[in-house]
Amino acid sequence: MISYLESLLIFTALAIILASSLNLVLGYGGMFSVAHAVFYGVGAYTASLLALHLSNSLVLSILCAIITGGLAGLLLAVPALRVKEEYFVVASLGFQIIASTVFNQWDAVTGGIGGLTGIPPASLFGYEIDSYGAHLVVTSLLAAAVLAIVAALMRSSFGRALRALRDDEQALSSLGRNPTHLRLVTVALSAMIASVAGVLYAYFTSFVNPESFTLDESVMMMVMVIIGGAGTVWGPPLGAAFVTIFPALLSFLKLPSSLLGPVQRLTYGVIMTLLMIYEPAGIVGLLRWVRRRQIILNGINGSNRAAA
């Protein structure tokens, strides 16, 4: 039971890293990407190959994954940024499908459908990370670091420009900023962070196969960002926690296991549509609304008391 809870928390932490990094592209950059699982996968395969053939150093794995993940990000962004707005989603979908095909078919490197197995535990400063507890600590620390980095980034001059880009692209370009360049950097950065999650995933599960990096996974990451609140710092981690923990709660309903997945996704789809109609800022938007209401109610109570 403890290990179940620990693994649930580890997956939540991974989801937080993935959702926060996707938020850079989707929430702040205004680019609708459904290829994020590709970068997760690139990170995971990079770490696995490294650990199987060269070194299981966590630091080295993360550095290499950042490089390969960033390159994969550019591979998506360079063609995809030639079309505007909504069409980015199709380019990213195309990219996801091509990447899935490669993960499945390039047997020599990815091990094909069977994937790569027997990945040794990672080592960090001479310690082996081989217990659930150790994984939980490392993953949580990195998730916290990613949240801090994203928050700092959005306060920096880069984040300022990115928010300005979302507000008015033409005005920004009239100030001498190259919008395409800004988006390119955003996608690459986001891919780098996602690939770090991939490294942690590979070492935690000790095997990787294409199943974990499919279009469905990408869509789930997007659902996390949207439900939590795109373009906010706290929305994506909230959404990530919700999407990871909700199925565990759903399992108490004692539904047949074949129905669990569809029921979950049906719920997400309905929630997404309703949120977009009534509260596009997601859970964070709902929380803000509750707080505003409380302030107003307090205000009314206060003035009533004053009147009495």
Binding site for other proteins (CB under 8 A): 30, 32, 78-80, 82-83, 85-87, 89-91, 93-95, 97-98, 100-102, 104-105, 156-157, 160-161, 163-164, 166-168, 170-179, 215, 219, 222-223, 226, 258-259, 261-263, 265-266, 268-277, 280
Sign of CA dihedral 83, 89, 92, 94: negative
Taking the least distance from each CB to other proteins, the nearer of 85 and 211 is 85
> Phi, psi (5° rounding) for residue 85?
40, -110
Taking the least distance from each CB to other proteins, the nearer of 129 and 172 is 172
204 to each of 23, 139, 271, how far by Cα in Å? Answer: 24, 9, 31
Give least dist CB 231 to other proteins, A.
9
Show Cβ contacts of residue 29 under 8 Å, excluding neighbours closer than 6 positions: 162, 165, 166, 182, 183, 186, 187, 190
Strands (DSSP E) contained in 170-261 are none
Taking the least distance from each CB to other proteins, the nearer of 110 and 123 is 110
Give least dist CB 5 to other proteins, A.
28
Give least dist CB 88 to other proteins, A.
10
Give least dist CB 72 to other proteins, A.
13
Q: How many residues does the chain have?
A: 308
Give least dist CB 216 to other proteins, A.
9
The DSSP line for 238-278 is: HHHHHHHHHHHHHGGG---HHHHHHHHHHHHHHHHHHHHHH
